Structure 1
Amino acid sequence: MIWTMAVATLVLAAWRVNWPALMEDKQRQHLCFGGAIALVPLWMLQAGIRDGQEIHFLGLTTLALMLGWRLGLLMATLTLVLITAFGFETWPEFGVNVLLGVILPVSFSYFIFLLTYSYLYRHLFVYIFVAGFFNAALTIAVKTAALAGYMVWSGDYSWAMVQNDYLTILPLLLFPEALLNGMAITLLVVFRPQWMCTFYDRDYLINK
């Protein structure tokens, strides 16, 4: 069931990508693969008390805002493939990691962006602090909570062990994750706004 949901979502994302346009846009290709590679060392910095309960920074909010939902999913999946091949994750858990560690956080981040774009005042600081900073903190919280729920549901760990050994690390990551993504997004919209597919000068800067 998990594999089916993960594969179906990735196929849907890949099917809706404008591949001919992407193949002609060398800069977009470099952004996609550069974003995927940039996440590799970030995801290697893992911390945890027990095996299988490691937690790490995500950086997926920046990726989602830079590439959009479809390419964000595909490139984050490529990062996960590399991380798993390097031995930092296990292949038996690949389906779960794709669904809860990639699809869920990327989709959640992009959904929060859509909410801010649709219902909040379109201003540079709203984009940076709400769609970027606070969005990143919420995203890592949702991803961690989902994986914690799966650990308990699968019977791998008891709720007490998950709560004491896994969820207790989360508060230490909320602000750093938010700051990491907020700083990255700030630098990108200031120096390379053309790299951010969700940032529009006419909405966030002109006549503000």
Structure 2
Amino acid sequence: MDHIQLTNIQIFAALLALVISFVIGKKLTFSRLISDKKIQHLVFGSAASLFVLWMFRAGIYDGLSVHFLWLSALPLVLGFRWAVFSASLALIGVTLAGQEHINMLGVNFLLGVLAPIGLTYGIYSFTFHKLPRHTFIYIFLCAFIPGALAIGLKMLSLSGYYYLDDIYSWYTVKDNYLILTTLMLFPEAMFNGMTITLLIIYRPEWVYTFYDKLYLDEQ
């Protein structure tokens, strides 16, 4: 992975990431970000928290490192678009800091940012419209379970990428990265579940997707 030249998959991922970022960015109200101190603190504070969290990682092979994501709590706090924006800032930060390769930026955005956030927000939307609006359902099905699924999705998809792009052999990926997936599921789920639990208790106004009248008043 010392080469700088982009592979075909990396080029395609970079172009797709640019298109998706443009579409999402067009629907963001950056004027509100400038004028609203609360949004500023939440968006940039989350990006800074993610940056610090993602700097701490473990792994033997270059690129095959594991770390907590915190990308299931993020869209519940910020909403889908601002969550993608905030996580993208953190991804750019860790890339510039040397923890990720610049040629992996598109792949990491699609598989490490967009996919986990999209999965979580999709689950939240389903539970909001199809299931009873109960605090336990919100914490367990919108934060805890998606936390495990999100990191599992990222690690599975990245494992497939490293193998398909012929960066590592399947045995190397499986024995040094994919095998760690099961060890990360429960801690990631707990991390996201506890984050949302504490926030809706002490700072419910910070959680964009939590509505007191729906989740508390009607119980």
TM superposition score category, shorter chain reference: over 0.9
Report the counterpart of residue 188 of structure 2 in structure 1: 177
CA–CA separation in structure 2 for the residues paired with 1:72 and 1:23: 17
Say whether 1:36 aligns with 2:47: yes
Report the counterpart of residue 122 of structure 1 in structure 2: 133
Residue in structure 1 matching 2:164, options 153, 156, 162 = 153
Say whether 1:64 aligns with 2:75: yes
CA–CA separation in structure 2 for the residues paired with 1:103 and 1:76: 9
Query: What is the Cα deviation at residue 131 of structure 1?
Result: 0.3
Say whether 1:140 aligns with 2:184: no
Q: TM-score, normalised by structure 2?
A: 0.92
CA–CA separation in structure 2 for the residues paired with 1:50 and 1:22: 39
- CA offset digits 1:115-159 (Å, max 9, x no partner): 111111111111111101111000100111110110111011122
- CA offset digits 1:19-48 (Å, max 9, x no partner): 233322111111100000011121112112
CA–CA separation in structure 1 for the residues paired with 2:92 and 2:55: 12
CA–CA separation in structure 1 for the residues paired with 2:146 and 2:200: 16
Aligned residue type for 2:48: I
3-state DSSP of counterpart to 1:3: helix
8 Å Cα contact 1:6-1:103 kept in structure 2: no
CA–CA separation in structure 2 for the residues paired with 1:170 and 1:42: 18
Report the counterpart of residue 99 of structure 1 in structure 2: 110
8 Å Cα contact 1:40-1:83 kept in structure 2: yes
Report the counterpart of residue 86 of structure 2 in structure 1: 75
3-state DSSP of counterpart to 1:170: helix
**Greater Cα offset, 94-103 or 18-27:** 18-27
Q: TM-score, normalised by structure 1?
A: 0.97
CA–CA separation in structure 2 for the residues paired with 1:52 and 1:36: 21
Q: Which runs of 5+ in 1 are unaligned?
A: none
Q: Which runs of 5+ in 2 are unaligned?
A: 1-11
Query: What is the Cα deviation at residue 99 of structure 1?
Result: 1.3
CA–CA separation in structure 1 for the residues paired with 2:25 and 2:140: 30
Q: Percent identity?
A: 42
CA–CA separation in structure 1 for the residues paired with 2:56 and 2:35: 35
CA–CA separation in structure 1 for the residues paired with 2:83 and 2:132: 25
Say whether 1:167 aligns with 2:157: no
3-state DSSP of counterpart to 1:60: coil
CA–CA separation in structure 2 for the residues paired with 1:115 and 1:160: 37
**Structure 1 residues 100 and 20 mapped into 2: Cα distance closer, same or farther (>3 Å)?**
same
Residue in structure 1 matching 2:119, options 93, 108, 126 = 108
CA–CA separation in structure 1 for the residues paired with 2:209 and 2:20: 21
Aligned residue type for 2:204: P
CA–CA separation in structure 2 for the residues paired with 1:129 and 1:6: 30
Aligned residue type for 1:156: I
8 Å Cα contact 1:53-1:166 kept in structure 2: yes
CA–CA separation in structure 2 for the residues paired with 1:174 and 1:198: 23
8 Å Cα contact 1:47-1:55 kept in structure 2: yes
Q: Which runs of 4+ in 1 moved over 3 A?
A: none
How large is the Cα RMSD of the aligned pairs?
Answer: 1.0
Report the counterpart of residue 20 of structure 1 in structure 2: 31
Query: What is the Cα deviation at residue 199 of structure 1?
Result: 0.6
